[in-house]
A and B are shown apart, each in its own frame.
Chain A
């Protein structure tokens, strides 16, 4: 794949097919950890770190092991295991060697295993037959899109806290409706077409 194809894939993953607002991958942490911009940024950075790495590792596992032994149907099991192990490993590595980064991202790391954005990026690599470099770029870009969405949304939620909605809308319903309005804004990008 040429550089321009890779750039188009990355742009699409960040903006036009944003993981949160048009694909719904990773909605749980998006709605759960977006109450403050600082925590949202921490979560976004942790996801970016893990997703870029996990996309590379799962690509190697899929093509070097599963495809070779005709075990493609086991990809879900293999990928989730790889992601869980990788998250654990990153946590240990950071705690030992980069304590500053560990202090910033540590509490978000265990949550990432069950973040469906990470698993779906790995599965999409296989589905779209990306090569190694494209897979890593796609994981990085999709995670950037996730970070963008969660940080923007955390800013919106900070303002929602002082709003005075009807009693039934307090809390979660209002959060969802605000997310709906943001998704509407993002759907404006869907007209962009490179082909």
Chain B
């Protein structure tokens, strides 16, 4: 039972409480660049998740053999190997997605989330927890990309996953699919996340003081 509980805890940590984009503010380049549509966002998220799981597992396996001084360089080589594999797979089986993500697939190598998880988690933990960590962080990343991608596609293009939402009379606000819209959308989304955090923190404080009041009586 304990293992099960740990699993849920770890998944919640990666996807919500420590979401790599909304909370840790890592991996900004792909978040801003590929979220022009939900399809691209999902593609990027899945590709990065695959790399993250593979690299976490592999780094965890070899963590005892890597000398401390060259660990960052070794991590980057391992990650870039998996990125190349994912790139070739996408080129073979999902060519449309490969073409629309373009140079951002090889750039997964320098995505800070993957290196951060390798350094902070996989190099210190056993294989199975590292795999779960990769999965949960990857899902959190994908989730954040989908949120930003949905806002930008719905407002900037009037569609969701390619389906028209508002009929032909809708005039899309093109600024949201342009680069400037990426910064604005992510800014507002993170502001909403901070608002939610503030509310729940306030509530916790209020609850604590209410308990103290009750204790006094």
The residues of A with any CB-CB pair to B shorter than 8 Å are 21-28, 31, 73-77, 80-81, 84, 113-116, 119-120, 123-124, 127, 167-177, 179-181, 183-184, 186-187
Could you tell me if A119 and B181 are in contact, using CB atoms closer than 8 angstroms? no
A146 nearest CB across to chain B (Å) = 12
A175 to B76, CA, bound (A): 29
Could you tell me if A24 and B84 are in contact, using CB atoms closer than 8 angstroms? no
A116 to B115, CA, bound (A): 13
Residues of A within 8 A of B32 (CB): 24, 27
Known A-B contacts A28-B112, A172-B25; the reply to A113 vs B103 at CB < 8 A is no
Could you tell me if A24 and B77 are in contact, using CB atoms closer than 8 angstroms? no
Could you tell me if B83 and A24 are in contact, using CB atoms closer than 8 angstroms? no
Could you tell me if B106 and A119 are in contact, using CB atoms closer than 8 angstroms? yes
Could you tell me if B175 and A115 are in contact, using CB atoms closer than 8 angstroms? no
Could you tell me if B187 and A167 are in contact, using CB atoms closer than 8 angstroms? no
Is B211 close to A, CB under 8 A? no
Instruction: Give the contact stretch, choosing among B40-48, B124-132, B191-199.
Output: B191-199
Known A-B contacts A27-B29, A28-B28, A77-B84; the reply to A184 vs B76 at CB < 8 A is no
A-B Cβ contacts below 8 A, count: 125
A79 to B3, CA, bound (A): 41
Could you tell me if B109 and A176 are in contact, using CB atoms closer than 8 angstroms? no
A130 to B29, CA, bound (A): 24
Could you tell me if A74 and B84 are in contact, using CB atoms closer than 8 angstroms? yes
Could you tell me if A24 and B175 are in contact, using CB atoms closer than 8 angstroms? no
Residue on B nearest A167 in the bound complex, by CB: B198
B27 nearest CB across to chain A (Å) = 8
Could you tell me if B180 and A184 are in contact, using CB atoms closer than 8 angstroms? yes
A24 to B104, CA, bound (A): 10
A131 to B112, CA, bound (A): 31
B186 nearest CB across to chain A (Å) = 5
Known A-B contacts A24-B29, A174-B187; the reply to A115 vs B178 at CB < 8 A is no
Could you tell me if B178 and A187 are in contact, using CB atoms closer than 8 angstroms? yes
Could you tell me if B76 and A113 are in contact, using CB atoms closer than 8 angstroms? yes
Could you tell me if A168 and B198 are in contact, using CB atoms closer than 8 angstroms? yes
Residues of A within 8 A of B194 (CB): 167-171, 173
Could you tell me if A21 and B179 are in contact, using CB atoms closer than 8 angstroms? yes
Could you tell me if A173 and B187 are in contact, using CB atoms closer than 8 angstroms? yes
